[in-house]
A and B are shown apart, each in its own frame.
Chain A
Amino acid sequence: MAKKTVNTAPSQDAMGVAVAPPKHSEWRRFARIFFGRKLYLIGFIIVVILILTAIFAPLIARYDPVTNDLPNKLQGPSTEHWLGTDQLGRDIYSRIVWGTQISMEIGFAAVFSSALVGILMGLAAAYFGGIVFAIIMRITDALMALPGIILVLLIAGLGGRGIGVVIFALAFGNIAGMARMMCGQALSVKQNDYVMAARSIGMSNWRIMWAQIFPNAFPPLIVGLTMGIGGVVLGEAGLSYLGIGVPAPAPSWGGMVMDGQGYLLQNPIISLAPGVAIMLLVFGFNMVGDGIRDAIDPRLRGVL
């Protein structure tokens, strides 16, 4: 049929209804909006660079990040050491590169594990309502009342140190927010007729939650997720700065800021460089979050 109607404009079928317009690619539309704004593009480039840095850290770093080289300590930037060396003679540039890996690891792991639990809780609370809602919301209240720092201190006090503890503590602190966000979205999505329609065709609760409500409630959460990565990295830096984060000598950005604290006047770059790295990462992820939201949310899309 398509062949016959190619040259007859406007093409109509037997019922007098114009045939479908050519299809747009969803991806192309996404890309056009996402990359159409400079700020998002910059954020995206930063994130891509950081991710690549994390993956290829062994190739990019010029020195071992933990080996001391005391004779060359506290040097300024040079061709040898691009960002100079710290108080133990370690190459700052290499430590930042390796630190990217740690930050990314913690950021993604904490956000995704908290999202998994939070989304499940939020969806269930919103969908079932009533007593389930009450119980889950009280749990989130309890979680919110527990600061991540105290949690890490507690675990550290019980003898645990390391990346795993940091991830766990930061994820734990994020769950409540995720659950709240998901719950709010799901509550409003739940009111839609298509959810009733899904029930009217005999779909199970589980399927309705995941196939009907979740895809509609998720887009606003993407912002929360991507920005959450920035937040978690910041949180990790905070913990490391206090000395209860990733244990030394691992190159954690927060720890590096603390290391440089004593030498701020002589050699400010020791603290500044990792600080800028943290800032770039947070900025990058926030921009990407905004961009994704604009590009995939049909309500913000504006154009077909």
Chain B
Amino acid sequence: MALLDVQNLKTYFHTEYGLVKAADGVSFHVNQGEIIGLVGESGCGKSVTILSIMQLIPSPPGEKAGGKVIFEGKDLLKYQPNGQEMRSIRGSKLTMIFQEPMTSLNPVLTIARQMTETLELHLDMDKSAARERGIELLKMVGVPDASRRIDDYPHQFSGGMRQRVMIAMALSCNPMIIFADEPTTAVDVTTQAQLLELMKDLVTRLNTSLVIVTHNLGVVARYAQRIYVMYAGRIIESGPSEAIFSDPQHPYTVGLLNSVPKLGERHGERKLIPIYGLPPNLINMPPTCAFLPRCNAKIGRCSKEPWPELRVVGKDHLISCYANIKGK
């Protein structure tokens, strides 16, 4: 059975201009020890999905509009967002790594204070034990001179080092699942590679599941075992990462892959084809497929019928599209 089973998750935002369905029926599951990629453009609902699972969406304006998040046999959405049950899960069993290492650490507290917080909170450790564990964790994520550096303030660390600290904090209570919300977007490419390797090593070693949220296909291609592609608040294609990359079935995924260069390609061998247009405005969307205006594989049904349900096109491989691009 899946460790985490998200079923038909819906999170809406009530804004001045109308209803924004930021996550509109998102379903996915995470197995133990698996690395999952959640891919999509900015504003497609990736982060909202993760924050909804953690119940960190501010309300108002956000609203839990439906769905289930089954974790250890219980529906997390049934809990109060700030209730005891939810708080005891957050940070111990489900943890997060945020995008911006520069701002996700509190500037006025030492690393030690911030690291020991989780340990004291969830594992009931005393101060000195928590500190020892903090140093051990910092060593694990490759922060040099950890026993001295733990007393430093965040501004004394570089961006990459801060993200290592964040990873260490996320790992501190031996979580079941780590949600990494664009963990490497704010650091440069070399650091990015180091951090991803580090995370992969650690989760494999500790048999923790990792959900990587990113807009970078290269990141998921290399590390994720299964991939979910999101568009306008929905999952439009999902499957094992080999299937997604070698045999994409949804026109959007095809477009995404056509628009990024591949390593080893000769100059001029393949033309990069952009996806024309912009992602739709999520306010008051039409019931038809949100990708329709940008789609180059549309068929007559598309503009008449509502957004298609996910259908199976291969082993564990699902798409939400009426067209059959491989049949053409």
Contact = CB atoms under 8 A, between A and B. Distances in A.
A193 B169 contact: no
B20 interface: no
A196 interface: yes
B152 A202 contact: no
Contacts of B161: 17
B177 to A, nearest CB: 12
Nearest to B198: A15
Given A201-B121, A211-B109, A13 B103 contact: no
A199 interface: yes
A197 B96 CA distance: 8
B296 interface: no
Interface in A19-73: 19-20, 23
A212 B92 CA distance: 19
A298 B108 CA distance: 9
Q: How large is the interface on B (under 10, 10 to 19, 20 to 34, 35 or more residues)?
A: 35 or more
B142 interface: yes
B89 A193 contact: no
Contacts of B107: 194, 216, 298
Contacts of A298: 107-108, 155
A192 interface: yes
A211 B144 contact: no
A17 B144 contact: yes
Interface string A192-212: 111011111111110000011
B281 interface: no
A138 B151 CA distance: 42
Q: Which residue of B92, B100, B106 has the most chain A CB atoms within 10 A of its CB atom? A: B106
A2 interface: yes
Contact of B95 (A17, A130, A192, A201): A201
B291 to A, nearest CB: 30
A194 B118 CA distance: 13
Interface string A229-257: 00000000000000000000000000000
Contacts of A15: 142, 144
Interface in B150-181: 151-152, 155-156, 161, 166, 169
A215 interface: yes
Contact residue range for chain A? Answer: 20 to 34
A192 B96 CA distance: 15
A19 B91 contact: no
A158 to B, nearest CB: 44
A62 B65 CA distance: 77
Nearest to A213: B106
B105 A194 contact: yes
B56 interface: yes
B145 A202 contact: no
B223 to A, nearest CB: 20
B217 to A, nearest CB: 25
B149 interface: yes
Contacts of A204: 82, 87
Interface string B132-152: 000000000010110011011
A1 interface: yes
Contacts of B91: 200-203
Nearest to B194: A15
A80 to B, nearest CB: 54
Contacts of B169: 201
- List the 3 shortest-distance A-B pairs measured between CB atoms, nearest first: A201-B91, A202-B91, A13-B144
29 contacts: A13-B144, A13-B145, A15-B144, A17-B161, A23-B148, A193-B100, A193-B104, A194-B103, A196-B56, A196-B98, A197-B104, A198-B106, A200-B54, A200-B56, A200-B90, A200-B91, A201-B90, A202-B86, A202-B89, A202-B121, A203-B87, A203-B117, A203-B121, A204-B82, A204-B87, A205-B82, A211-B117, A215-B109, A304-B155
